[in-house]
Amino acid sequence: GDSVTQMEGPVTLSEEAFLTINCTYTATGYPSLFWYVQYPGEGLQLLLKATKADDKGSNKGFEATYRKETTSFHLEKGSVQVSDSAVYFCARYTGNQFYFGTGTSLTVIP
């Protein structure tokens, strides 16, 4: 069935390191793809999204490109900060429902 698979964590990086969190999806049709972030004690917040193939979503230095040929939507950031420590969820949107991955916990140390 349709699903979202994302890289397992936890991930620990030093400040200013490069971040990649992998996400792949299976789906019929062409879903919209999202990254949500959950900071400690808070709800899920939309980080970025892409609605069609080759679209690039970007926000707060994070980027992800909708790759239809590899069915991927990997999240990247060139230089992480301590304030980026959070859980990141990849999701696809089909039929008015979100289907989430399991989440990847990121800790950035000074």
Partner 1 sequence: EPEVTQTPSHQVTQMGQEVILRCVPISNHLYFYWYRQILGQKVEFLVSFYNNEISEKSEIFDDQFSVERPDGSNFTLKIRSTKLEDSAMYFCASSQGTGRAREQYFGPGTRLTVT
Q: What x-and-dash track marks residues 76-95 binding partner 1 by CB under 8 A?
A: -------------x-x-x-x
For residues 44 to 83, the per-residue mask of contacts with partner 1, x marking binding by CB under 8 A and - elsewhere, is xxx--x-x--------------------------------
**Which tokens in the block code for residue 9?**
């964590």
Q: Is 101 in the site for partner 1 (CB under 8 A)?
A: yes
Q: How far is the CB of 50 from partner 1 (least distance, A)?
A: 9
From CA 16, how far away is CA 27, in angstroms rounded?
34
